[in-house]
Amino acid sequence: MNLVSTVIGYPYIGENREWKRCVESFWNKKIAEEQFTAEMKSIRLNNLKHQQALGLDLLTVGDFTFYDRMLDVAAMFGLVPNRYNWTGDEVDLATYYTMARGGNEAVACEMTKWFNTNYHYIVPEYEGKQPQLTKNYILDYFIEAKEELGVIAKPTIIGPFTFVQLAKGYDGKSKNSFLVKLLPLYVQVFQELLEAGAEWIQVEEPALCLSLNEEEIKLVQEAYTYLASELPKAKLMLQTYFEALSAYKELTQLPVAGFGLDFVHGAEENILSIRKYGFPQDKVLGIGLINGRDIWKADLVEKAAATQSLLLLSGVKEAWIQSSCSLQHVPVTTKSEKELDVTLNAALSFADEKIEELTQVTAYCVGAGTSNKNSLKKSKQAIEALAQHKTRNNTNVKQLEATVKAAHFSRPLSFKERQSLQQTALNLPDFPTTTIGSFPQSDQVKRTRTAWRKKEITDAAYAEFVKNETARWIEIQEDIGLDVLVTGEFERTDMVEYFGEKLSGIAFTKFAWVVSYGSRCVKPPIIYGDVEWTSPMTVKEIVEAQELTEKYVKGMLTGPITILNWSFVRDDISREQVANQLALALREEIQALEDAGIAIIQVDEPALREGLPLRKEKWNEYLRWAVNAFKLATSSVQNETQVHTHMCYCEFNDFIDTIRALDADVISIETSRSHGELIHSLKQNSYELGIGLGVYDIHSPRVPSVAEMENILNDSLEVISKEQFWVNPDCGLKTRREEETVKSLKNMVAATQKLREQLSQTV
């Protein structure tokens, strides 16, 4: 039996976010392109050296990126939209980053969630032109590892079916032709890798875990039959993750050398498929054993036993013991975390620790591990110690959960009845303008917060600074002419972290960063115990802001499902139970805001959709309890209190019933990069509650013109009535600069005023 330890991918950001600092220095023109590429190479090679030192048998290249791997493949194949005025040949960095971030002359490509994760990828755009191989960057990475480290690594690339499934710009009829045009380019990439000495090529096809129809199965079969005919000597490891392989019987017969299966998130179905259909004896089995999406130590005794059972069940002669997906979804290492609860820290496993787990299980299963049996048992001891922790046995939370009734999940009046009461109570103008919540976190804000966290300034001094910054932005908002204001959230580092720090049962790390999109990194909270509200979290700041203006200031909370989906969540109870604990805590905060006189309360759920299972047949169960958690948090308010929410990158057609079921008085949707698609969707699916369509893209530094936003507003009026219509940016403004933010918002208000004037003249 030949067993090999490997990972599908490794975090590229570096233990201390070296990658982020390098990229942002280049964007800000602090370093030249030559220095930038040299530093990126150093980070890339150091990542490989580190994995090698941890004992991995087979290293991976191609998991590194300058921004996003879907964008990398699009650039490699010359799929550059016409608006970027690309002239052919290799895609230069200026064009590459304009596609990702936008520029003065062209908007960025659309960005959306990578399956059901919190990572955002750049959506490739197919405009019908012939793709071409501009530069085989994966070959460069392979040769680099070979020449610099003497390593024959495993190149990895996003597979053709997944790439086409996640791209846009084609209809059902042109999808096949798009794939057919790409396949010769994949052949060329693979052939060059083979000629350079690559022994294995990992082809990532997570889309094969989606619900596939007969036509899609046939398309995959034809694609890989073509690749095999053109590359008879290529050893392709077809890698799946996030779920079980769909159409197992048919797809495991594809002419590839190996199949990587997820035995964490797709364990039950994949095992049943192997029992029913067997596993091809001429292929290598990739056993996705260690969870690449959570941070909990694995029970290695259990994992070793599961591996041995799978080896016996499949009957394979060769297997890879690997992570269930790329480790880019977890932080780099626990070694830097010195301030966590000792029992909790002992039960954590980040990317480096997961590699150690893989190597331990591999060594044990090949028979060299009899001496490390006690080491395997240590993981179970750490897990059991956490189970006994006092925060997992909070009687207050248990008692509160027991009081929940069916009536807690709905508001007493319908939206139409509430709308009438709210219009009278709030007396807002037509097309009320507002923002999503956050304003630019200036260098001064960041420095002051850092000084406070380091205890270089007092709590009182920090509170006074936040109060003054809030007051400054209240004045700015009034000067801009916004109708409903926000505090700007200057006291908050992150929309989840801020609340997690004030709730019991949640822990925070110092250095456990993961990438959300581009160079945007987050430190997800760790929900490790029962969640309890102990005191008001936002009331002081919102009341102070409201006292400064006669306009309404929104209360701003992060919803229970977003806190859940943007956290690392305990795995000893159901996610539904954790969601309800969060909802009950937020319910108490909402009551405190109402008691303080706050009339508009926004409970954001930008991550609601990303919790969806990959298979549509599993959606309803998740959506049932996710919607209920939001309603449990928000349904206690008075009828006159207006509840807002916000969502990111939502496929409206797929999700309209869920959005409606939330029963929020107003929803703002992040749609500026795909506005036309949403307008088309609303023509097909009417929506009767309040809605704000994001009229400009906050992820781009460009300032949209008044005319540009006027066009969006006029288009929106075709599908949204005046009584429903709110106007806002498409997301929070935390990452933007003050100057561009003020200019953009002034243009937004000017466009809204023109719309009001236009409609008043037609009455």
CATH number for position 304: 3.20.20.210
Cβ(61)–Cβ(155) below 8 Å: yes
Q: Buried b vs exposed e over 98-136: b needs ≥16 C-beta within 10 Å? A: bbbbbbeebbbbbbbbbbbbbbbbbbbbbeeeebeebeb
160, part of any domain: yes
409, part of any domain: no
Mean pLDDT computed over 603-629: 92
Number of Cβ atoms within 10 Å of the Cβ of 84: 17
Angle at CA of residue 709, ends 168 and 125, nearest 5°: 15
* pLDDT for res 676: 66
449-478 pLDDT, tens per residue? 999 989 999 999 999 999 999 999 999 999
Give the pLDDT band (50/70/90) at residue 683.
confident
Cα Dmax for the chain: 85
Q: Token digits for 629?
A: 């958690």
483-507 pLDDT, tens per residue? 999 999 999 888 888 999 999 999 9
173, part of any domain: yes
Mean pLDDT computed over 719-737: 90
Q: 465: which residues sit within 8 A by CB, 6+ positions away?
A: 448
Region label for 242, one of left (φ > 0), alpha (ψ between -120 and 50) or beta (otherwise):
left
- 228 and 291 housed in the same domain: yes
- 624 and 681 housed in the same domain: yes
Mean pLDDT computed over 15-23: 97
Residue 420 has pLDDT above 90, yes or no: yes
* pLDDT for res 493: 81
- When mean pLDDT is compared across 43-57, 307-321, 586-600, 710-724, the lowest value belongs to 710-724
* pLDDT for res 650: 56
Q: 598: which residues sit within 8 A by CB, 6+ positions away?
A: 542, 543, 546, 553, 554, 555, 641
Domain housing 454: 414-502+537-762
- 381 and 428 housed in the same domain: no
* pLDDT for res 17: 96
Which one-letter DSSP state was computed for residue 124?
A: P
Give the pLDDT band (50/70/90) at residue 28.
very high
493, part of any domain: yes
- 601 and 483 housed in the same domain: yes
Average model confidence (pLDDT) across the chain: 93
Residue 701 CA to residue 718 CA, distance in Å, equals 29
Q: Token digits for 465?
A: 């600074």
* pLDDT for res 266: 96
* pLDDT for res 678: 74
Which phi and psi (to 5°) does residue 640 adopt? -75, -20
Mean pLDDT computed over 645-669: 83
* pLDDT for res 651: 59
Q: Which of 265, 329, 644, 699 is catalytic?
A: 699
Mean pLDDT computed over 722-742: 91
Q: What percent of the chain has pLDDT over 70?
A: 98
Residue 685 has pLDDT above 80, yes or no: no
399, part of any domain: no
Beta strands 600-604 and 642-648, pairing class: parallel
Mean pLDDT computed over 695-702: 81
Residue 448 has pLDDT above 70, yes or no: yes
Residue 254 CA to residue 221 CA, distance in Å, equals 6
Which phi and psi (to 5°) does residue 155 adopt? -70, 145
Strand partners, 514: 522
Q: Which of 245, 291, 261 is nearest to 615 (CA)?
A: 245
- 429 and 285 housed in the same domain: no
Number of Cβ atoms within 10 Å of the Cβ of 345: 16
pTM: 0.89
Q: What percent of the chain has pLDDT over 90?
A: 82
Residue 710 has pLDDT above 80, yes or no: yes
Q: Token digits for 698?
A: 């906050």
Q: Which of 615, 610, 609, 611 is nearest to 211 (CA)?
A: 615
99, part of any domain: no
- 247 and 325 housed in the same domain: yes
Residue 152 CA to residue 93 CA, distance in Å, equals 28
* pLDDT for res 210: 96
Residue 370 has pLDDT above 60, yes or no: no
Mean pLDDT computed over 608-616: 88
Structurally, how many domains does the chain consist of?
A: 2
Strand partners, 6: 58, 322
Residue 742 has pLDDT above 60, yes or no: yes
* pLDDT for res 19: 98
Burial class (CB in 10 A: 0-12, 13-18, 19+), 443: exposed
Alpha helices in 517-603 (DSSP H): 539-546, 560-565, 575-595
Q: Which of 392, 701, 366, 401 is nearest to 529 (CA)?
A: 392
Which one-letter DSSP state was computed for residue 58?
A: B
* pLDDT for res 311: 97
| Residues annotated within a binding site for Zn(2+) | 646, 648, 670, 731
- 559 and 602 housed in the same domain: yes
- 620 and 661 housed in the same domain: yes
| Residues annotated within a binding site for L-methionine | 436-438, 489, 604
Number of Cβ atoms within 10 Å of the Cβ of 257: 17
Residue 675 has pLDDT above 70, yes or no: no
Q: Token digits for 277?
A: 């259909």
Q: What is the spatial order of strands in the sheet that 555-558 belongs to?
A: 555-558, 600-604, 642-648, 666-670, 690-694, 725-728
Give the pLDDT band (50/70/90) at residue 731.
confident
- 640 and 680 housed in the same domain: yes
Give the pLDDT band (50/70/90) at residue 371.
low
Which residue in this structure is represented by tokens 């975390």?
A: 337
Q: 673: which residues sit within 8 A by CB, 6+ positions away?
A: 107, 108, 109, 110, 111, 697, 699, 730
* pLDDT for res 368: 58
Which residue in this structure is represented by tokens 């030249």?
A: 32
Mean pLDDT computed over 666-685: 75
Give the domain-ending residue among 388, 422, 457.
388
| Residues annotated within a binding site | 17-20, 113, 118, 436-438, 489, 520-521, 566, 604, 610, 646, 648, 670, 731
- 361 and 445 housed in the same domain: no
Distance set, CA 611 to CA 195, 447, 563, 567, 596 (Å): 42, 34, 11, 12, 33
Q: Token digits for 733?
A: 């403004």
Number of Cβ atoms within 10 Å of the Cβ of 413: 12
Q: Which of 208, 214, 211, 261 is nearest to 237 (CA)?
A: 261
Which phi and psi (to 5°) does residue 540 adopt? -55, -50
Residue 593 has pLDDT above 70, yes or no: yes
Measured over the CA atoms of residue 432, residue 436, residue 438 and residue 439, the dihedral's sign is: negative
Residue 736 CA to residue 701 CA, distance in Å, equals 7
Residue 662 CA to residue 664 CA, distance in Å, equals 5
Specify the 3-state DSSP secondary structure of 692.
strand
626, part of any domain: yes
Alpha helices in 81-203 (DSSP H): 93-101, 137-149, 160-166, 172-195
Residue 153 has pLDDT above 70, yes or no: yes
168-219 pLDDT, tens per residue? 998 777 889 999 999 999 999 999 999 999 999 999 999 999 999 999 999 9
Q: 355: which residues sit within 8 A by CB, 6+ positions away?
A: 5, 7, 51, 54, 55, 56, 327
Residue 674 has pLDDT above 80, yes or no: no
Angle at CA of residue 619, ends 615 and 622, nearest 5°: 130
| Residues annotated within a binding site for 5-methyltetrahydropteroyltri-L-glutamate | 17-20, 113, 118, 520-521, 566, 610
Region label for 431, one of left (φ > 0), alpha (ψ between -120 and 50) or beta (otherwise):
left
Better-scored residue on pLDDT, 547 or 693? 547
Catalytic annotation present for 699: yes
- 271 and 366 housed in the same domain: yes
Measured over the CA atoms of residue 632, residue 637, residue 640 and residue 643, the dihedral's sign is: negative
- Start-to-end CA distance of the chain, whole Å, equals 81
Residue 38 CA to residue 17 CA, distance in Å, equals 16
- 379 and 437 housed in the same domain: no
Beta strands 526-533 and 503-507, pairing class: antiparallel
520, part of any domain: no
Give the domain-ending residue among 353, 388, 423.
388
Q: Token digits for 187?
A: 């052949």
291-331 pLDDT, tens per residue? 999 999 999 999 999 999 999 999 999 999 999 999 999 99
